[in-house]
């Protein structure tokens, strides 16, 4: 699509300015720390106060009227941050509207909203971020009256020299830029698409009613699935004739901070790997099943591609890492065990084949009888476990199903216990490392699975508390998502946001977050270890928001 065509679509992609600019409070990080996006009316509502005080009030920012008062509890020492913290609990307040917490002698919190649809706009914004990641076409969005755009990029993807030894070109346009760079990686695409397709399976009925304003709006296929299709169709181009799947498509070295359409260095396929092939099988098999009611032709292509690569995978049972010696870009080289389990589960769920079920159950029984509390592209087995557990197909081993159900419940209980007593209600089952904001959000997949097995409010609350941490209830008192909440990141490690002609960050992206300690995060472009963005982290954020998102019936920002 031309840049001019993209500009014409801006009227569908105008994003609420107030949500992207942060709210007008002190320029210093605020000691009253809460989910600065807001709360559901019936949700427990808490704020953390990093200053000594005894009472608090909830006020309306328009006139200062007090709508709720209470006593702070504490202080208690927060184990991982070392802070002395107080807590304000205003759960009884169920009135809708914009509010602030006021603590005498301390100040006022950022403005937040209580509203049934409070997560609708953040969900749509985080999901629309994938549109901004699109490679091979012009994209544009208006943020606070400013156009953020780039032209069609990387239209000559890509060369096979480093994958096959032959100087030959193969069309591989499309897909999403992976992170703060412009390369494309199959393994990370796998966990990203897998998480998004899981969101559709769990919440698709309501997500279909939340407009995203994409170029494909109005088609029979839901917008959500149209966006994911942009990545699925690129994945098809990564399959070799024998069914193996090239590991990545990349420049030899990371490119400079320039607009994507001006990055003209040659881009190459990396050789195949077993982990990329297994991820490919899993997401294409799932897509063949999920897309069939909306786009039978695409669904058939996905299913056929998955079957071909599954046959190759079974014929090559050993791990086969890709030779990436010619590259200095992201490796995503991991053990393929979890991806093979997931691939077998999705092939069985899609086809009912007995050999796929046997493959899946053999791998489930061989693991150490637990589900992972945290997971990412390195081990996506939980996606396979959830598919196996909730499939309506017959033939499963009942003993294994019972055991797996118990493991999911035990893991969810561990996550919940991990948040108890933490000053920001952040589960201690997630540490502080590169991209661990994504791992924290991604726990919502396991929590929702447990909630589906045995609905308990603490599972949903743990997911909501993780969102609260990401949107400002943290040691920095700031949102970690560009364009959303209080003082969001302005300088993410993102070439599109930082390239010439853009005057602000692209909205809706979750940054990786602090490490190695809770305080170690800087809103600096150069700090890629804490302030980069990535598709796998955003898919986790989308899933967590999708659980609670409702269509927005009015502009929630008008009263702010």
Q: Which residues are catalytic?
A: 181, 493, 523, 532
Hey, is 32 helix, strand or coil? strand
CA distance 41 to 221: 33
Compute CA 221 distance to the chain's CA centroid, rounded to the nearest angstrom: 22
Name 164's Cβ contacts closer than 8 Å, sequence gap at least 6: 269
- Secondary structure letter of residue 490 according to DSSP: S
Compute CA 371 distance to the chain's CA centroid, rounded to the nearest angstrom: 20
Name 40's Cβ contacts closer than 8 Å, sequence gap at least 6: 114, 115, 116, 118, 119, 464, 548
Nearest to 275 by CA among 364, 186, 371, 177: 186
User: Could you please report the per-residue DSSP string of 319-354?
Assistant: ------TT--S------SHHHHHHHHHHHHHHH--H
- Secondary structure letter of residue 82 according to DSSP: -
Catalogue the E-assigned strands of 488-549: none
Q: What number of helices (H) and strands (E) belong to the chain?
A: 17, 16
The tokens describing 277, both together, are: 């092939």
Reading across the β-sheet that carries 14-15, which strands appear in turn? 14-15, 139-143, 146-150
Alpha-helical segments (H) within 378-435: 381-390, 398-419
Token look-up 């998502």 returns 481
The tokens describing 8, both together, are: 């014409």
Distance set, CA 238 to CA 24, 158, 258 (Å) = 47, 10, 26
Cis, peptide link before residue 158, omega less than 30° from 0: yes
Q: Say if CB 30 and CB 477 are below 8 A apart.
A: yes
Beta pairing partners, 176: 134
CA distance 430 to 485: 23
Strands 146-150, 73-77: parallel, antiparallel or unpaired by DSSP?
unpaired
- Secondary structure letter of residue 176 according to DSSP: B
Q: Say if CB 389 and CB 404 are below 8 A apart.
A: yes
Q: Which class for 165: exposed (0-12), middle (13-18), buried (19 or more C-beta within 10 A)? A: exposed
């Amino acid at each position: 699509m031309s840049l001019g065509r993209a500009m014409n679509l801006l009227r569908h992609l105008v994003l609420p300015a107030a949500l992207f600019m942060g709210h007008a409070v002190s320029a210093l990080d605020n000691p009253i720390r809460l989910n600065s996006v807001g709360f559901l009316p019936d949700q427990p509502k808490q704020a953390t106060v990093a200053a000594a005080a005894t009472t608090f009030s909830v006020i309306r920012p328009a006139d200062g009227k007090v709508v709720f008062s209470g006593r702070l509890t504490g202080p208690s020492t927060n184990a991982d941050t070392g802070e002395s913290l107080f807590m304000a609990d205003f759960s009884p307040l169920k009135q809708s509207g914009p509010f602030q917490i006021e603590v005498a002698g301390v100040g006022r919190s950022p403005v937040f909203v209580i509203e049934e649809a409070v997560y609708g706009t953040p969900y749509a914004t985080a999901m629309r971020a994938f549109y901004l990641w699109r490679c091979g076409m012009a994209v544009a969005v208006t943020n606070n009256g400013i156009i953020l755009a780039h032209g069609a990029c990387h239209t000559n993807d890509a060369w096979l020299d480093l994958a096959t030894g032959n100087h030959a070109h193969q069309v591989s346009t499309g897909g999403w830029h992976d992170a703060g760079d412009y390369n494309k990686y199959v393994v990370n695409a796998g966990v990203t698409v897998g998480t998004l397709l899981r969101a559709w399976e769990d919440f698709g009925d309501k997500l279909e009613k939340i407009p995203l304003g994409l170029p494909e709006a109005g088609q029979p296929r839901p917008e959500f699935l149209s966006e994911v299709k942009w990545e699925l169709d690129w994945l098809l181009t990564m399959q070799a004739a024998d069914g193996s799947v090239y590991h990545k498509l990349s420049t030899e070295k990371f490119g400079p901070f320039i607009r994507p359409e001006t990055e003209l260095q040659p881009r190459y396929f990396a050789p195949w790997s077993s982990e990329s092939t297994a991820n490919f099988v899993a997401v294409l098999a799932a897509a063949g099943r999920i897309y069939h009611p909306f786009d039978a032709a695409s669904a058939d292509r996905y299913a056929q591609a998955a079957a071909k690569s599954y046959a190759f995978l079974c014929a090559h049972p050993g791990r086969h890492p890709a030779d990436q010696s010619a590259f200095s870009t992201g490796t995503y080289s991991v053990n393929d065990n979890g991806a093979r389990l997931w691939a077998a589960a999705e092939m069985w769920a899609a086809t009912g084949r007995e050999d796929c079920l046997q493959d899946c159950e053999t791998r489930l029984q061989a693991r150490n009888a637990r589900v992972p509390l945290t997971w990412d592209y390195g081990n996506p087995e939980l996606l396979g476990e959830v598919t196996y557990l909730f499939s309506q197909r017959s033939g499963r081993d009942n003993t294994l199903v019972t055991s797996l159900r118990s493991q999911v419940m035990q893991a969810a209980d561990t996550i919940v216990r991990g948040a108890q007593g933490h000053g920001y209600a952040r589960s201690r089952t997630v540490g502080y490392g590169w991209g661990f904001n994504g791992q924290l959000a991604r726990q919502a997949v396991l929590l929702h699975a447990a909630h589906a097995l045995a609905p308990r409010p603490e599972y949903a609350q743990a997911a909501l508390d993780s969102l609260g941490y990401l949107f400002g209830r943290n040691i920095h008192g700031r949102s970690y998502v560009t364009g959303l909440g209080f003082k969001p990141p302005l300088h993410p490690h993102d070439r599109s946001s930082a390239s010439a002609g853009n005057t602000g960050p692209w909205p809706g992206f979750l940054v990786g977050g602090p490490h190695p300690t809770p305080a170690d995060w800087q809103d600096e472009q150069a700090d890629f270890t804490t302030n980069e963005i990535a598709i796998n982290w955003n898919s986790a954020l989308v899933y967590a928001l999708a659980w609670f998102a409702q269509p927005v019936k009015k502009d929630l920002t008008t009263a702010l």
